[in-house]
Amino acid sequence: MFHWLEKNPFFFAVGVFLTIAFAGAVTILPHFNKSAQPVKGLKPYSVLELAGRHVYIKDNCLSCHSQLIRPFKAETDRYGQYSLSGEYAYDRPFLWGSRRIGPDLHRVGNYRTPDWHANHMWEPTSVVPGSVMPAYKHQFTNIADTETAYAEAVTVKTAFGVPYGDDIQPGRAAYEKVLKSKVLPEALKIATQMKNKDLIARVKAGKIPEVVALTAYLERLK
Amino acid sequence: MSMDQLSIYLYVIGSGITVVVFYSYIVYLYRSEKRGEKDYEKYGRIAIDDEIDSTPVETVSDPANKNKE
Amino acid sequence: MQSNAAMEYDYSIVKLYMWTTVIFGIVGMLVGVIIASQLAWPQLNYWLGEYGTFSRLRPIHTNVVVYGFMISGIFVGFYYSAQRVLKVSIGESKFLMTLGYLQFFLYLIAASGLVISEGMGITTSKEYAQMEWPLDILIVVIWVLWGMIMFGLIGMRREKALYISMWYYVATFLGVAMLYLFNNMEIPTQLLSGGLGAWYHSVSMYAGTNDAMVQWWWGHNAVAFVFTVPIIALIYYYLPKESGQAVYSYKLSLLSFWGLMFIYLWAGGHHLLWSTVPDWVQTMGSIFSVVLILPSWGSAINMLLTMKGEWNQLTDNPLIKFMVLASTFYMLSTLEGPIQAVKSVNAIAHFTDWIPGHVHDGVLGWVAFMVFATLMHSAPRVFKREIYSKSLLEAQFWIQTVAVVLYFTSMWIAGITQGMMWRAVDEYGNLMYSFIDTVNVLHPYWVIRAVGGTLYFIGLLMFAWNFFMTATAGRKLETEPQFRSPMA
C-alpha cells in the first residue's frame, strides 16, 4: 500500500489531497448553518450603509481596526457587549480585521456621533492628539458608489434570501427610485448631523460624499 | 444525531485512522529497510547527482523496477 | 530516450522568474519600509493623496512580497530543481515550454493587475485573497498551467522515484488550489442586479462567522502552502546540493511530510481564538498547533543534521550561512506560533504587534533567506558565470540578520506591552489606560522596527546589485560547478 503512494504520482496526489481536505471538511462544514443564523431583530444593511461599508473596505480601515469584541472584561469594559456570531449574519465579507492599531469599532455607533466622525475623519489629531490614524480628506470629495451598493443588495437578496423590502429589485429604474426615496434622504439626515455645510450641499445636489456613507455605516455599528 | 456530534465522531474516528496509518507507515519504512527490500537513503542522492546524463537512482524504463510494482 | 551530447536543462523560464523575484522584492519591501515608517511618523501618509495612506499601501506590501517576490522565487526553484531531480529538461517538450512562457506572462499580468487594483482600492478585503473575481479567474488559470507543467514533467521523467522536493511541490499545488477555490467563492454583483454598478465588484458566498472560518482556513494555509511547504521543497534540494551532502535522513523527511500535511490543516482555528467560532474548533486549533512543532522541527533538524561533519562550510560559504540560518528561523517561528496559539497567550497576543512580529521572523528569516540562497545557487548554473561578489553576499547576510533581530524583538516587546496595557486595571477594577495611551507607548518600538526594515531593504539592494552583476559581468565559467557555487 505505501509502496504505491511513493511510486505512483497519481495515488500520491490523491493521498495528499485527502489528507488536506479531511481536516477542512470536519472542522468547517458542519457549522455552516448554525453560525449563519441572524440574531433576533437584526436588519440588513441599508443601501447607504452598504455603500459606507464599501468605503470602509476600499480605504481598508480593517488594516488598523478590528470588529470583534472578545469575551474578556477588559474588552467589554472598553467597547461594550462582546460580539455574537449572529450579529454578523449579513456581513459579506466579514470585517473582523487582524490587528488593532486603532480601537475596535464593532460598537462604535454607541459612543461616537456623526459630527465627531466628520472632524475625526478630516483630521484625527485635531480630535485625539497623538493619533497615528491617517486623515481621510479625500472622502469628503469622492462620491460614494451607491449603485454598486444597490447591486450588492439585490444580489444578496436574490441569491441568499437576505430580507430586503420589495423595493429592492433588479434594474436601473428600481435603483433610481430607491436612491430618491430612501438613500438620499437618509444621507441628508447624516450630513445634517455632521454639521458640515459643504457635505449638506453636495447631498442636496444628489451626490453623496464617501464620508457621509461611511458615517452612516459607522453609526450602524452598535 | 446533530451536526455537532457528527463532526466530533468524524473527527475522533478520522484522527484515529490517520494516526494508525501514520504509525504503520513508520513501521513499514524501517522494517522494509531492515529486511533489505528497500533502501530509502539512496533517494537522497537524487538531489546531489542531478546532471541530465547522470544515471538515475531508479530508471523509469528499467524492467527490474517495473516488476516490483 | 535520445542521448545526444548537446542535451541540457532549459533555464529560460527560470531566468524570467529570477528577474521578477528581484523586482517584486524591491517594490514590495520598499512599500513595507514606507508603511512601517508611516506608523512611526504619521505625516508620511500624505505624499500621494489617497493612494499613499497606510491602509491602501499595506495590502500592496503583503501581496507584492507574497505573490510577487515569494511566488516568483518559488517558481525559480521549481523550474530549476524539478527538471534536475526528475532528470528531464523542460526543453524536450515544445508544448511544456509554451505553457511555461504562457504561465509566466499571465503571472506578470495578474501580479501587475493586483498592484493596480489594490492601489485603487478594488479589493474583497480578505487578507491574502484581496483579488476581485477577474483576477481570481486569471490566478486559477495560472495555477492550472503550473499543474500541467508539473505533471507533464513528472510524466516525462527519467528518474523513477520522486525526490522529496517534488512531494512538497505537488502538495503546494494541490493545497493552494483547493483552498483558493473555496475561499474565493463569490458572485459578481452585475449578474443578478441587471447590470448595475461596478463590473468588477463581487460579494462573498459566505457571511460573517462562516466567511471568517473559510478565510482563516485559507489565510492559515496560505502560510502553510506558500510560506512553508514550497520553501521546504527548496531547502531539501538546495542545501544538499550546495553542500554536497545528501539529506541526513530521507526517512525522516518522508515522515515529516505526512505529519505536516495532516496536522497543518487542523491548526487553522488558532487564528480565531476567543472569537465567535465554535469552542471545539478553537480548542482543536490550539492543540494541533502545538503538535505541529513535531513535523516542523523534524524537517528543520533534518536540514541541520545534513551539515553534520561539514560545519566548516558554514564559516566559508555564505550561501550555507543563509540556508542554515533559514532553518534556524524556521525552528524559531514554528515554536513561537504554537506558543501564540495557546488560548491564554493568544488572549494577550492577538490583535497586537506580536503577530506581525511572528510573521516577519518567519518570512524575513526563513522564506526570504531561502529565496536569496535559491537565486544565488542557481545563478552560476543558469548564467554560466561566477557569483559577482562573495564579500557583498557576506555583508548582506550580516546586515539582514541584524535587521531581522531588530524587527522581531521590537515587535515582541511592542505586542506584549500593548496587550498588557489593554487589560490593565487599577485597584477599583477600572481600565487604566485610554486607547491612545497604548498607541503612543509604541512609538519607540515602531521606530526600531522601521530601522530594522530599512536595514533589511538595504541588504536586498545589495543582493539585487550582486545578482545583476553576476548575470551580466561575472567571470565566465567553462564547466558547471557540481556543488559549491563559485564566487569571486
Which of C10, C160, C235 has the highest number of chain B CBs within 10 A, making it the mutation to test binding with B? C160
Residue C2: per-residue pLDDT? 47
Which of A29, A85, A92 has the highest number of chain C CBs within 10 A, making it the mutation to test binding with C? A92
For residue C96, the Cα-to-chain-centroid distance in whole angstroms is 26
Q: What is the pLDDT of residues C45-102, one digit of tens each?
A: 998 889 999 999 999 999 999 999 999 999 999 999 999 999 999 999 999 999 999 9
| Three-state secondary structure call for residue C459 | helix
Indicate the average pLDDT of chain C.
91
Residue C220: per-residue pLDDT? 76
| Three-state secondary structure call for residue C11 | coil
Closest chain A residue to B19, measured at CA: A19
- Contact status of B57 with chain A (Cβ, < 8 Å): no
Nearest-neighbour CA in chain B from A26: distance (Å): 6
Count of residues in chain C: 488
Q: In terms of Cα–Cα distance, which of C389, C440, C386 is closest to C418?
A: C440
Dist. CA C375–CA C395, nearest whole Å: 17
Nearest-neighbour CA in chain B from A41: distance (Å): 26
Nearest-neighbour CA in chain C from B51: distance (Å): 7
In C, which residues are within 8 Å of A90 by CB distance? 207-208
Closest chain B residue to A20, measured at CA: B18
Q: Please report the sign of the dihedral spanned by the C-alpha atoms of residue C188, residue C192, residue C197, residue C203.
A: negative
Residue A59: per-residue pLDDT? 96
- Residue C385's DSSP bridge partners are C476
- Residue C188's DSSP bridge partners are C202
The phi, psi pair for C313, rounded to 5°, reads -60, -30
| Nearest CB to A26 within list B11, B25, B29 | B11
| Three-state secondary structure call for residue A10 | helix
Q: What is the pLDDT of residues C283-342, one digit of tens each?
A: 777 787 788 888 889 899 999 999 988 899 999 999 999 999 999 999 998 888 888 878
| Nearest CB to A128 within list C201, C213, C436 | C436
State what percent of residues in chain C have pLDDT above 90: 72
Nearest-neighbour CA in chain A from C209: distance (Å): 6
CA distances from C159 to A2, A30, C265 (A): 19, 43, 31
CB pairs under 8 A between B and C: 87
Nearest-neighbour CA in chain B from A13: distance (Å): 17
Residue C268: per-residue pLDDT? 62
- Contact status of C347 with chain A (Cβ, < 8 Å): yes
Structure-derived torsion over alpha carbons of residues A21, A27, A28, A32, reported in degrees to the nearest 10: 140
| Nearest CB to C161 within list B30, B54, B57 | B57
Q: What is the pLDDT of residues C137-175, one digit of tens each?
A: 999 999 999 999 999 999 999 988 889 999 999 999 998
Tell me if C103 sits within 8 A of C149, measured CB to CB. yes
* Count of domains observed in chain B: 1
State what percent of residues in chain C have pLDDT above 70: 96
- Contact status of C160 with chain A (Cβ, < 8 Å): yes
The chains found to touch C (3+ Cβ pairs under 8 angstroms) are A, B
- Contact status of A177 with chain C (Cβ, < 8 Å): no
Q: What is the pLDDT of residues C217-257, one digit of tens each?
A: 777 777 778 888 999 999 999 999 999 999 999 989 988 88
Q: Do A34 and B69 touch (CB under 8 A)?
A: no
Residues 20 through 39 of chain B touching chain C, CB cutoff 8 Å: 22, 25-26, 29-30, 33
- Contact status of C210 with chain A (Cβ, < 8 Å): yes
In C, which residues are within 8 Å of B9 by CB distance? none
Which of B2, B10, B26, B67 has the highest number of chain A CBs within 10 A, making it the mutation to test binding with A? B10
Which range marks the domain in which residue B28 is found? 20-48
If one counts every other C-beta atom within 10 angstroms of the C-beta of residue A194, the result is: 24
- Contact status of B2 with chain C (Cβ, < 8 Å): no
Closest chain C residue to A71, measured at CA: C274
**Sequence-distant contacts of A189-192: CB under 8 A, at least 24 apart:** A190/A48, A190/A114, A190/A215, A190/A216, A190/A219
Q: Do A33 and B25 touch (CB under 8 A)?
A: no
In B, which residues are within 8 Å of C480 by CB distance? 51
- Contact status of B18 with chain A (Cβ, < 8 Å): yes
Domain residue spans of chain A = 47-220
| Nearest CB to A30 within list B6, B25, B69 | B6
| Nearest CB to B69 within list A7, A19, A31 | A7
Query: Complex ipTM, two decimals?
Result: 0.92
In A, which residues are within 8 Å of B31 by CB distance? none
Q: Is residue B43 part of a domain?
A: yes
Dist. CA C129–CA C59, nearest whole Å: 10
Q: Do B41 and C280 touch (CB under 8 A)?
A: no
Dist. CA C246–CA C265, nearest whole Å: 30
Closest chain C residue to A144, measured at CA: C197
In C, which residues are within 8 Å of B50 by CB distance? 84-85, 87, 241
With a cut of 50, say whether residue C1 has pLDDT above it.
no
- Contact status of C199 with chain A (Cβ, < 8 Å): no
Amino acid in the structure at residue C366: W
In A, which residues are within 8 Å of C169 by CB distance? none
Which of B6, B23, B37, B52 has the highest number of chain C CBs within 10 A, making it the mutation to test binding with C? B52
| Three-state secondary structure call for residue C2 | coil
Q: Is residue B36 part of a domain?
A: yes
Longest dimension (CA), chain A: 77
Amino acid in the structure at residue C124: T
In A, which residues are within 8 Å of C431 by CB distance? 74, 77-78
Residue C342: per-residue pLDDT? 80
Which of C351, C417, C446 has the highest number of chain A CBs within 10 A, making it the mutation to test binding with A? C351
| Three-state secondary structure call for residue C404 | helix
Q: Is residue B8 part of a domain?
A: no
Q: What is the pLDDT of residues B10-53, one digit of tens each?
A: 777 777 787 788 888 888 888 888 888 888 888 888 888 888 88
Q: Do A27 and B6 touch (CB under 8 A)?
A: no
- Homologous superfamily of A47-220 in CATH? Cytochrome c-like domain (1.10.760.10)
Q: In terms of Cα–Cα distance, which of C80, C292, C201 is closest to A146?
A: C201
Q: Do A27 and B25 touch (CB under 8 A)?
A: no
Q: Do A83 and C268 touch (CB under 8 A)?
A: no
Q: Is residue B34 part of a domain?
A: yes
Residue C248: per-residue pLDDT? 92
Residue C5: per-residue pLDDT? 46
Contacting residues for C86 by C-beta, under 8 A, at least 6 apart: C153, C154, C156, C157, C158, C159, C162, C163, C166
In C, which residues are within 8 Å of B57 by CB distance? 159-161
Tell me if A193 sits within 8 A of A117, measured CB to CB. no
| pLDDT per residue rounded down to tens, chain A (222 residues) | 567 666 677 888 888 888 777 766 766 666 666 667 888 889 999 999 999 999 999 999 999 999 999 989 999 999 999 998 889 999 999 999 989 999 999 999 999 999 999 999 999 999 999 999 999 999 999 999 999 999 999 999 999 999 999 999 999 999 999 999 999 999 999 999 999 999 999 999 999 999 999 999 999 998
- Contact status of C47 with chain A (Cβ, < 8 Å): no
With a cut of 60, say whether residue B69 has pLDDT above it.
no
Dist. CA C141–CA C181, nearest whole Å: 12
Which of C81, C158, C287 has the highest number of chain B CBs within 10 A, making it the mutation to test binding with B? C158
With a cut of 90, say whether residue C406 has pLDDT above it.
yes
Query: How many C-alpha atoms does B34 have within 13 Å on its Cβ side?
Result: 6
